[in-house]
Amino acid sequence: MAVDDEKDARAKKVSAIHAWFVLYDGLEVVRKDFEWLHHRDNSHGEAGCLLLYGPPRSGKTHLILDYVNAHPPVVGPDGDRQEVVYFKAPYPCTPKNLVERMADKLGYPGVAGPRRSRLFDMMDVVLHYVRQLGVRLMFIDEIHQMASGGGDNGLIAGATLLKDLINEGEFCIVASGTCSATRIFEAHEELCGRLLAVHELRPFDWYAEDQRDTFRALLHDMDGELPFARSGLSEAGMAARLHVASGGLIGHVATLVEIAGVMAAREGADRIGLDHFARAHEKKKFVKRGVNPFIGGTPDPSPFAAPDPVPAGSRPVRKRRADDDFRA
């Protein structure tokens, strides 16, 4: 193999790091709740939901897809079964757009047709396919899109739709999104009452020993996945630099490692060095924290303040009464 081909092959292996995923202890707790909702008895109209929220690149989608991929659809002589369904909320996430996306992911062919059905008809289609396929757990990713536009009325309408689907469908929903997703549940007290669990994925706090240890353990595992000699990602000084550059978000670390690793592979280096990280940081600045953390002395990671789950400047949302119904 020519030298350039070897470099390209190594760069390709480096790029696979963006799909890297490790189920560490904090994520294992969430996954166990996925299992609980998946196998929960909802036969008496008592289905519920789980809210998973956190900043982008905190690992929400990787965690969900790891579970979804472990429970693929089953094709059998008595018909297909799909107990676990995953899709991303559309934008704009109006009730009609959301229920059409559900119908499409469940296999309904009419969504793409020239004639669009009414919302209530599409809800009936979704419920029909849910029962036919035996759906027990539905993941709706990027649910914060529902809180991104449409004002209070649109937010309440979307929350009411979720409540009605839970009531009538006898399946549980996992809603995942950024911190603004909490507003959906705050807007509707009956939907909020159906919450069975709430999990927040936060950046790793460097000054909490257990979180720092987990962060460094993940760096060690990531280092072992790369097609180089170990680059010392988990060593104290390098780990501190990576923490500052990423804001403690392991998804940002993976992207930074990919960019720096591709540079190292193309240059024929035997490992990723500080210079590669310094150039990668300039190419893709994740968190604006002053100077490049890969140049000069080891920086001190900044302590994290507890985040406000509702973005600053958000207006309070009128509560939906428990007796309100979307179909009424």
pLDDT in tens, 271-285: 999 999 999 999 876
Q: Which two tokens stand for residue 8?
A: 């390209």
C-alpha separations of 302 from 32, 72, 97 in Å: 32, 42, 41
Q: Tell me, what amino acid is at 103?
A: A
Mean pLDDT by 10 residues, the chain (328 residues): 80 94 96 98 88 96 98 88 97 93 92 67 93 96 87 87 91 96 93 96 96 97 97 98 95 96 96 96 70 92 56 41 47
Buried-state track 129-153, b at ≥16 Cβ within 10 A, e below 16? bbeebebbbbbbbbbbbbbbebeee
Please state the pTM of the whole predicted model. Answer: 0.88
pLDDT in tens, 197-223: 999 999 999 999 999 999 999 999 999
pLDDT in tens, 73-111: 998 887 789 999 999 999 999 999 999 999 999 999 877
The domain made up of 40-200 has a fold known as: Rossmann fold (3.40.50)
Residue 225, classified by CB atoms within 10 Å of its CB into exposed (0-12), middle (13-18) or buried (19+), is middle
Q: Tell me, what amino acid is at 172?
A: C
| Helix or strand (DSSP H, E) at 169 | helix 151-169
In whole angstroms, give the CA distance from residue 73 to residue 83. 7
